[in-house]
Amino acid sequence: VRGRFNAVSGMNVIEWSPDGARIAVGGSQLQIWNVGHQGSETQKESEWVHPARISGVRFNRAGTRIVSHGEDN
């Protein structure tokens, strides 16, 4: 991973996409980072807020969807 990324505060879960191009980081919110491939810069793709702390994230096999769960559900 090149570059710097400011991950979510209270980060407690990390999940790599099946192709290794993205990483999901969860804590007080869920962030999806595009870490690209060799020579690419790291960029935040999206961010969602959960009502409570996130305790798990998982990409589907194709890497096209992600599910998260937390203390709110």
Distances (CA, A) of 48 to 2, 3, 69: 23, 22, 12
Model confidence pLDDT, tens digit, residues 8-18: 567 788 999 99
Strand, helix or coil for residue 41: strand
pLDDT score at 3: 47
In this predicted model, which residue has the larger pLDDT, 37 or 5?
37
Give me the chain's average pLDDT, please. 79
Max mean pLDDT among 2-6, 33-37, 64-68 falls in 64-68
